Amino acid sequence: VHRRRLDPNNGQILAISGGFDFYSSHFNRAVQAKRQPGSAFKPFIYSAALEKQYTPASIINDAPVVFRDAGLEAAWRPENYSGKFSGPIRLREALAKSRNLVSIRLLRSIGVPYAIRHAERFGFNAKNLPRDLSLALGSGAVSPLEIARGYAVFANGGYLIEPYIIQNVLTAQGDTLFEANPPVVCTHSNCLLPTDEFAESEIVELRDFSEVTAMHSAPLAPKQAESVISEQNAYLMYSLMQDVVRRGTGQKAKQLGRTDLAGKTGTTNDQQDAWFSGFNRNMVATTWVGFDQPKPLGSRETGAGAALPIWIDFMRIALAEMPDAKLEKPSGIVSVRIDPKTGLLASTGQSDALFEEFKMENVPQAQASTPGFSSSDEVNNNQPLF
């Protein structure tokens, strides 16, 4: 079991567990192990789809299909973990229930090259990601640190941070030789400076090595983290992953009694790797369970069954003294009533209508007759998947 916990505002690693005993093995699995993330990678595919005009209400057919892809050696017949299919389903429901066929169809629609370029925005190395449709199911090779860093982009509103462990280096006399100056998340000209509840005081002024050697030099202003996705994209993904916790594969986390948590489970073929990555506005934590030499963990040892309970035990303590911290809704996001079957605007007085959130420019059109779902598998925004 290996964990990584960091502050999404500045990349400060607050806790790390990468092995059982350093003297038995120096291999830090939280940083050095490269494993398949499974469905924990799906949020990055969904985020890419949101940039291609898909919405949480877009409908895609969750049905059996055979893919013949040039990047695959043979015909591929992917299935959902349950072996069941839901038919036409909204993206919000598909992520909450971790529907594999929806993620694959999304990837085929937006294109593998585009999805990989989008994933690079979150700090992933394209060389470790497959250039075929299996990317949608997390068949790449990533470390728990890379997953945590990627989820931090959703947690902080769209900014890529640089994880770091060493805060400062002092001489025996107490003089500062080095003090970290990481990029920090700055929004609306108000920088959210690094904090650490384990430190004696907040670090407000950050200096690089050259300045701290000159004890009376002026401090540098904090460096601003790079914005890699829009705050609207980050907010919608946070909203989608909140539903994973509220009523999806991660709903065991509801026992923590919080309203600010979001996350995603991940399970690979034959239950060889189990993941849960979750966050609120001020903390990201990733848990991975697996063997050094990949082999099955056991029947039904999924992300929800093996990794999530460990994540819950850890976060129960880590968040005990912290109030709920949600990602604020940015401008450009609107809520409208939709028909849950079509994803289009609900008709007046419709009893089963529900509210959904959209980028303002992607609000669906007025309600129409329920579209059919033919073998072309078109979604309600007229984007063909095949």
List, in order, residues 6 or more apart from 249 with CB less than 8 Å away.
39, 96, 97, 98, 264, 265, 303, 304
Q: Say how many C-beta atoms besides its own lie within 10 A of residue 45's C-beta.
A: 23
State the first-to-last Cα distance of the chain, in angstroms, to the nearest integer: 40
**Average pLDDT by stretches of 10, the chain with 386 residues:** 77 84 75 90 98 96 80 76 89 97 96 98 96 94 94 97 91 89 74 44 41 44 89 98 97 97 94 94 94 86 94 95 95 96 92 96 75 39 38
Q: What is the pLDDT of residue 380?
A: 44
Q: Could you tell me where the beta strands, DSSP code E, fall in the chain?
A: 2-6, 13-17, 59-62, 87-90, 159-160, 168-170, 176-179, 186-187, 190-191, 226-227, 262-267, 273-280, 283-290, 333-338, 354-359
Q: Is 57 left (phi over 0), alpha (psi -120 to 50) or beta?
A: alpha
Decide: 54 and 90 in contact? Cβ < 8 Å. Answer: no
Q: What is the pLDDT of residue 302?
A: 93
Q: What is the pLDDT of residue 79?
A: 85
3-state secondary structure of 139: coil
How many whole angstroms separate alpha carbon 309 and alpha carbon 314? 9
Question: Residue 311's Cα: distance from chain center in Å?
Answer: 15
> Could you tell me which of 306, 295, 304 has the C-alpha nearest to residue 1?
306
How many whole angstroms separate alpha carbon 299 and alpha carbon 326? 35
pTM, rounded to two decimals: 0.85
Q: What is the pLDDT of residue 188?
A: 52
Pinpoint the alpha helices (H) of 251-354: 308-318
How many whole angstroms separate alpha carbon 273 and alpha carbon 2? 11
Q: What is the pLDDT of residue 17?
A: 83
Q: What is the pLDDT of residue 199?
A: 40
Q: What is the pLDDT of residue 88?
A: 95
Q: What is the pLDDT of residue 70?
A: 67
